[in-house]
Each structure stands twice: as structure tokens, then as C-alpha cells.
């Protein structure tokens, strides 16, 4: 059974960089795509970006200037960095697995999510 | 950017059929997935490739997609189906979610 676990600071100050890591267990990180998805409290889901195990990345255009996603296959981990955060970046951050970035590529496994609060 | 539009809320009586729509430009040319999210939990995939159910998802969940609208149908709705539902598709290598629909079973 594939398991994903997010980790990282739960509090970040405005203008600083949010950093999260997702650790994958139960299956190889290879041959899949991995995404970060967030959900502000009481609101809907927002896709942030994805990375292929080989390193190819895709980002939501409106966040692209602030987002970096990286992968470390040796540790079965992928990471998110979101710079210059504001209160609008307060959300539950999920990591998820999928098989592609077009066509039929559902998010079939999700982490439990981690709440990141931007506070001043 | 590509947008997916869902009704904010849908109500259904137990045992009846609930339909949740998701609209987008030429959405029928894309594959749509549906996710169920209950409070405090991550989303769960209930429909992929427009109409296919993952293992473990009850047969009462079905989907369709044509033209500009995809529809999630829950037949014989049960109290346990009360949740938020999100549609999702890929556009230009970017993931897109609908705004979500809260299904109330009353």
C-alpha cells in the first residue's frame, strides 16, 4: 500500500519561504508523477505543481514565479518550496501521486496533509 | 487559464439520486476525475477516466462526460455520501480542480 507523508514547519513568517517534504513508502517513487496540492481552510483544492521522478516539472502559472519542486529518488522524497509567502498561502498542503500530466492521470494516492500557517 | 465550474451545494434525500455537474470549455474532450472529501480527511478518488470506479468504490457512484459538462451521479444516496466533491482535469500539463460541491443528504 502506497503511503505519502508530508513534513515541515507548521508556521512560516510573511515574506519567508515555505518548505515541505513528502516521503513516499510502499512503492517506488520511480515512473510516477508527484504533485503538491493545497486547500485553504474552508475552501477548495488548488493544484500547485508536479514533478516526474526524472525531474521534469510543471507549475500552476499563477504560482510559477514562487514555486520550486524537487525530487530525491534516493530518499523517495520530493519537496516544495514556496517563496515570499503571505497570509493567502495559509492552507493544508497535500502531496499526491499520479501517472501523468494529461489525459487520464488521476491523483490516486494522497498524503494526510499538513497545515501551514503564515503568521506575523 | 482553464476553469471548471461546479454548483456550491446539492441536496438529496436518502435513497434518491444525486447529480453533481462540472462545466468547462469542451470538457468532453478531456478526461475527468471526481474526488470525495469528508471533513478532516484528504480527498479520495471515486471516479476516473470520466466513468470508471477505482477498486473499493461502491457501484452507486457513476460518471459521464460530454460536450461542456461532466456529471457525477450517486444512485441510492446514503448518509455516508455526505461530503464535498471535486471534479478535476488536466489542461496544458496543469491540474485543474472545480470549486467543489457540498452534498447534503437530508
Residue B24: Cβ within 10 Å count: 23
On the CB side of A108, CA atoms within 13 Å amount to: 18
CA B33 – CA A38 distance, rounded (Å): 17
**Residue A120: predicted pLDDT:** 84
**Residue B28: predicted pLDDT:** 97
**Residue A61: predicted pLDDT:** 96
Residues of chain B contacting residue A104, judged by C-beta atoms under 8 Å apart: 31, 48-49
pLDDT tens readout for residues A25-58: 999 999 999 999 999 999 999 999 999 999 999 9
Spans of chain B below 70 pLDDT = none
Parallel, antiparallel, or unpaired for β A114-118 and B44-47?
unpaired
pLDDT at A104 over 90: no
Which residues are paired to A38 by β-bridges?
A46, A93
**Residue A16: predicted pLDDT:** 98
Mean of pLDDT values over A91-115: 95
pLDDT tens readout for residues A59-86: 999 999 999 999 999 999 999 999 999 9
Residues of chain B contacting residue A57, judged by C-beta atoms under 8 Å apart: none
pLDDT tens readout for residues B19-46: 999 999 999 999 999 999 999 999 999 9
Burial string for B10-21 (b: 16+ CB within 10 Å, else e) reads bebeeeeebebb
Handedness of CA B90, B94, B95, B97 (dihedral sign): negative
pLDDT at A103 over 90: no
Burial of B79 (0-12, 13-18, 19+ CB in 10 A): exposed
CB B20 within 8 A of CB B72: yes
**Residue B53: predicted pLDDT:** 98
Residue B64: Cβ within 10 Å count: 15
Q: Retrieve residue A8's grid coordinates.
A: 515541515
Among residues 19-38 of chain A, which lie with CB inside 8 Å of chain B?
A: 35, 37
**Residue A101: predicted pLDDT:** 87
- Distant-in-sequence, close-in-space partners of A102: CB < 8 Å, separation ≥ 6: B90, B93
CA B103 – CA B106 distance, rounded (Å): 10
Q: Retrieve residue B71's grid coordinates.
A: 456529471
Task: Report the residue from B1, B31, B86 with minimal CB separation from A103.
Answer: B31
Which 8-state DSSP code applies to residue A54?
A: T
Helices and strands: H and E segment counts in chain B = 0, 9
Shortest alpha-carbon distance between residue B16 and chain A (Å): 26
Q: Retrieve residue B19's grid coordinates.
A: 447529480
Amino acid at each position: 500500500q502506497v503511503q505519502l507523508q508530508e513534513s515541515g514547519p507548521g508556521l512560516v513568517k510573511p515574506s519567508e519561504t515555505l518548505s515541505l517534504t513528502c516521503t513516499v513508502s510502499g512503492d517506488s517513487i520511480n515512473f510516477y508523477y508527484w504533485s503538491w496540492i493545497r486547500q485553504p481552510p474552508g475552501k477548495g483544492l488548488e493544484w500547485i505543481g508536479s514533478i516526474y521522478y526524472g525531474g521534469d516539472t510543471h507549475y500552476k502559472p499563477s504560482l510559477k514565479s514562487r514555486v520550486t519542486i524537487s525530487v530525491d529518488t534516493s530518499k523517495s522524497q520530493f519537496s516544495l518550496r514556496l517563496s515570499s509567502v503571505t497570509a493567502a498561502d495559509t492552507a493544508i498542503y497535500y502531496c499526491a501521486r499520479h501517472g501523468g500530466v494529461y489525459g487520464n492521470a488521476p491523483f490516486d494516492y494522497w498524503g494526510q496533509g499538513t497545515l501551514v500557517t503564515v503568521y506575523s | 487559464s482553464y476553469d471548471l465550474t461546479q454548483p456550491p451545494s446539492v441536496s438529496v434525500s436518502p435513497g434518491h439520486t444525486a447529480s453533481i455537474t462540472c462545466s468547462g470549455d469542451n470538457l468532453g474532450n478531456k478526461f475527468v476525475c471526481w474526488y470525495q472529501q469528508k471533513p478532516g480527511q484528504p480527498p479520495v478518488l471515486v471516479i476516473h477516466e470520466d466513468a470508471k470506479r477505482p477498486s473499493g468504490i461502491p457501484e452507486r457512484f457513476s460518471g459521464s462526460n460530454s460536450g461542456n459538462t461532466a456529471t457525477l451521479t450517486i444512485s441510492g444516496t446514503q448518509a455516508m455520501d455526505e461530503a464535498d466533491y471535486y471534479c478535476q482535469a488536466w489542461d496544458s500539463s496543469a491540474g485543474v480542480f472545480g470549486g467543489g460541491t457540498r452534498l447534503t443528504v437530508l
